[in-house]
């Protein structure tokens, strides 16, 4: 248990003793290490099952009500945008603002929305507050209903942006890009689709998402299950009944099993618990589940915001999350609390006398205190002590996605809900009738996979489901066979005028939409400038790319942290020693310094690191 502790004595920072803390940090570290060790497995990132071949149906789109019938198109355009999620939409919006109107958006799904198009599972909600996460609020004049928006509101907002920027006439939905080839003589990308379309585009922006392709655990017998089954990002409401809001009225007589207790599982399990005849939750690693603290938006507060407020709020949030001191925490929630505590301690309390080791020690203590507080929530919410014990997370906050939910833990006190804790080992195998854990078979009518998305096991082109051929027909998959290679996370050597938007090799912030907007604004400015100067092509120089890859892959403060973490996709299932894993391979100083660096690069105007033709 945590005791109230003073970290400052005589105006100086001080590392408290075990007695003062009420727990022994060394003992805590041993417990965290032991929990990690029992989850490490030799097959690491290869433990998952690809959804190709006879498992392909897990990737089908269950939301399309009618197939769009249209003839193939052949078009010459300025920019082809691949992906109609917030990244692609922000790119389109920023291009328009920069005066570039000849663009098309090509998207496999049936509408705008990206992750929010696909993830319609009951209870889907964004953990990042709506006033920062929902893009273009000032531009569209929309006031979010609550501090934390649910999926349907976010999905509707994507459509609002589509209408506001008149993007629908320039979007091709239910269309998958199959291939892109660079035509050197014409300085054009030839983009072909599964609808027989050919777009000849001066530039291409690939914003196909980083968590888009569902993954399944590679369980023996996976194909044997005779009941109903689907992945959470392709929710089958025809089977469950209800909607994103819950009321899954067709499950009343069903035995439902769900594998996965990550950020998605946490949100849909309360709805399954309410509706299912019986729900079995198969847990390998518990999530850390903190309070949600949601509240309706105060219209007076919202109206009182001055023009430019959203940019300022995003900047404030991004600063806090990059450890940059700000006068006031405008967002003031679970994310900023996690980031603030150490920087507040270090700020202005004469921390200069502390060694790096002592600062690390303090960070660790604060993490343990956070863990103790979150674990105490489990005891308060779950009646059965053994179930409560199994639901406690024993790892540091950034080892896995922190979650926030008020209904999840109480679900386990329902008589129709059973937690099947696998002791960190995972489900053993699948049978015709259900799942086996510790030799016990659990019979199920329906098996739901809340098992996340391909990240580290997939090659880039596999994940994006397309092939990109650059100069001399070199495949991007080949160029990136030993990891992503870019300059600024956007351009690659040998692939002129092909910009990537996303997560890896850029400056990271947990607010994805702000990150994507910063990239979109940068690319739009670069293209507008290139047009003004009559530049035909922009391409990363080999040396610039090599240097950038070395920079983003150099060990940073997260490297050691993640190496000691319980396995997950953040640390390549516990194998990450350097750049492997989702949270590795970023601009070392974080989001805000990255945005500043890009602004300085643009201001210099010499296209440093690029070959310009």
Can you give the binding site for ligand NDP, defined by CB under 6 A? 125-127, 211, 217, 259-265, 267, 282, 284-285, 401, 422, 426-427, 450-453, 568-569
| Shortest distance, position 39 Cβ to ligand NDP, whole Å | 6
42 or 141: CB nearest ligand NDP: 42
HSE-up of residue 141 (Cα within 13 Å, Cβ side):
3
Smaller CB distance to ligand NDP: residue 214 or 494? 214
Chain centre distance of CA 202: 30
H/E run at residue 330:
none
The Cα–Cα gap between 354 and 362 comes to 10
CB 80 within 8 A of CB 199: yes
DSSP 8-class letter at 16? -
- Could you tell me the smallest distance in angstroms from the CB atom of residue 124 to ligand NDP? 7
Give the pairing of strands 610-612 and 538-540.
antiparallel
Taking the C-alpha atoms of residue 613 and residue 611, their distance in angstroms, rounded to an integer, is 7
CB 104 within 8 A of CB 250: no
What does DSSP say about strands 12-13 and 8-9: parallel, antiparallel, or unpaired? antiparallel
Pick 291 or 547: Cβ nearer ligand NDP: 291
CA-based nearest residue to 81, from 191, 205, 200: 205
* Cα 560 to Cα 576: distance, rounded to the nearest angstrom: 9
Smallest separation (angstroms) from ligand NDP to the CB of 146: 13
SS3 495: strand
Nearer Cβ to ligand NDP (121/587): 121
**Is 548 in contact with 18 (CB distance < 8 Å)?**
no
Q: What element of type H or E holds 105?
A: strand 103-106
Q: What letter does residue 54 receive in the DSSP assignment?
A: G
- Least distance to ligand NDP, CB of residue 180, Å: 27
> Distance between CA atoms of 7 and 114, rounded to whole angstroms?
45
Pairing of strands 440-443, 434-437: antiparallel
Closer of 194 and 428 to ligand NDP (Cβ)? 428
Q: CA-CA distance, 516 to 503, in Å (whole number)?
A: 8
Query: Considering beta carbons, is residue 212 or 518 the nearer one to ligand NDP?
Result: 212
Q: List, in order, residues 6 or more apart from 454 with CB less than 8 Å away.
A: 48, 50, 213, 214, 215, 462, 463
Nearer to ligand NDP, 35 or 358 (CB): 35
β-strand pairing of 289-290 with 403-404: parallel
* Closer of 232 and 553 to ligand NDP (Cβ): 232
Minimum CB separation of residue 509 from ligand NDP in Å reads: 13
Largest separation between any pair of C-alpha atoms in the chain: 77
Report the residue number, 201 or 446, with the smaller CB distance to ligand NDP: 446
Contacts of 234 (CB under 8 A, 6+ apart): 58, 59, 60, 61, 62, 118, 214
* CB contact set of 571 (below 8 Å; sequence gap of 6+): 399, 562, 563, 565, 580, 581, 583, 584
Residue number, 80 or 219, with CB nearest to ligand NDP: 219
- For ligand NDP, which is the closer residue by CB, 191 or 427? 427
Least distance from ligand NDP to the Cβ atom of residue 119, Å: 7
Q: How far is the CB of 33 from ligand NDP (least distance, A)?
A: 16
Min dist. Cβ of residue 449 to ligand NDP (A): 8
From the CB of 250, what's the least distance to ligand NDP, in Å? 23
- Minimum gap (Å) between residue 314 Cβ and ligand NDP: 16
Residues facing residue 192 across a β-bridge: 179, 198
Give least dist CB 38 to ligand NDP, A. 11
**Paired residues of 206 in beta bridges:** 82, 500
How far apart are CB 516 and ligand NDP at their closest, in Å?
A: 14
- Cβ proximity to ligand NDP: between 95 and 450 the closer is 450
């Amino acid at each position: 248990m945590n005791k109230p502790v003073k970290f400052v004595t005589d105006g100086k920072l001080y590392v408290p003793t075990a007695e003062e803390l009420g727990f022994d940090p060394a003992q805590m570290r041993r417990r965290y290490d032991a929990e990690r060790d029992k989850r490490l497995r030799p097959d690491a990132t290869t433990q998952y099952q690809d959804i190709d071949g006879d498992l392909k149906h897990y990737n089908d789109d269950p939301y399309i009500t009618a197939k769009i019938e249209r003839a193939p198109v052949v078009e010459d355009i300025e920019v082809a945008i691949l992906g109609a999620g917030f990244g692609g939409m922000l790119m389109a919006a920023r291009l328009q603002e920069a005066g570039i109107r000849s663009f098309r958006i090509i998207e496999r799904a049936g509408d705008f929305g990206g992750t929010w198009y696909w993830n319609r599972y009951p209870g889907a909600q964004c953990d990042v507050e709506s006033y920062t996460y929902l893009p273009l609020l000032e531009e569209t004049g929309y006031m979010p209903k609550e501090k934390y928006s649910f999926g349907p509101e976010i999905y509707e907002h994507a459509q609002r942006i589509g209408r506001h920027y008149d993007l629908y006439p320039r979007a091709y939905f239910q269309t998958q890009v199959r291939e892109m080839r660079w035509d050197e003589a014409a300085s054009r990308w030839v983009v072909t689709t599964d609808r027989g379309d050919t777009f000849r585009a001066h530039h291409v922006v690939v914003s196909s998402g980083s968590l888009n392709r569902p993954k399944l655990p590679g369980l023996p017998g996976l194909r044997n299950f005779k009941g109903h089954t689907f992945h959470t990002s392709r929710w089958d409401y025809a089977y469950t009944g209800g909607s994103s809001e819950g009321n899954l009225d067709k499950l009343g007589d069903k035995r439902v099993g769900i594998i996965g207790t990550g950020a998605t599982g946490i949100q849909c399990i309360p709805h399954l618990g309410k509706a299912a005849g019986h729900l079995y939750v198969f847990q390998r690693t518990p999530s850390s589940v903190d309070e949600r603290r949601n509240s309706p938006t105060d219209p007076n507060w919202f109206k009182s915001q001055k023009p430019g407020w959203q940019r300022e709020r995003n900047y404030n949030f991004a600063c806090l999350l990059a450890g940059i001191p700000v006068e006031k925490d405008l967002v003031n929630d679970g994310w900023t609390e996690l980031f603030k505590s150490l920087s507040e301690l270090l700020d202005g309390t004469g921390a200069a006398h502390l060694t790096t080791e002592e600062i690390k020690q303090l960070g660790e203590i604060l993490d343990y205190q956070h863990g103790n507080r979150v674990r105490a929530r489990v005891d308060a919410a779950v009646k059965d002590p053994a179930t409560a014990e199994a639901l406690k997370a024993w790892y540091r906050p950034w080892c896995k996605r922190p979650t926030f939910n008020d209904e999840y833990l109480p679900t386990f006190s329902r008589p129709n809900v059973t937690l099947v804790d696998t002791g960190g080992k995972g489900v053993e195998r699948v049978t015709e009738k259900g799942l086996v854990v510790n030799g016990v078979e659990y019979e199920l009518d329906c098996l739901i996979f809340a098992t996340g998305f391909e990240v580290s096991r997939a090659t880039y082109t596999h994940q994006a489901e397309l092939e990109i051929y650059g100069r001399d027909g070199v495949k991007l998959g080949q160029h990136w066979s030993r990891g992503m290679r870019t300059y600024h996370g956007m351009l690659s050597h040998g692939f002129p005028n092909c910009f990537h938007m996303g997560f890896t090799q850029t400056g990271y912030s947990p607010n994805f939409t702000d990150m994507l907007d910063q990239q979109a604004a940068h690319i739009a400015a670069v293209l507008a400038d290139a047009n003004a100067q009559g530049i035909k092509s922009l391409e990363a120089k080999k040396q610039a790319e090599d240097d950038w890859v070395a920079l983003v892959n150099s060990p940073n403060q997260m490297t050691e942290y993640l190496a000691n973490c319980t396995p997950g996709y953040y640390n390549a299932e516990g194998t990450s020693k350097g750049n492997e894993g989702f949270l590795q391979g970023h601009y070392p100083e974080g989001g805000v310094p990255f945005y500043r660096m890009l602004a300085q690069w643009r201001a210099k105007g010499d296209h440093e690191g690029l070959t310009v033709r």
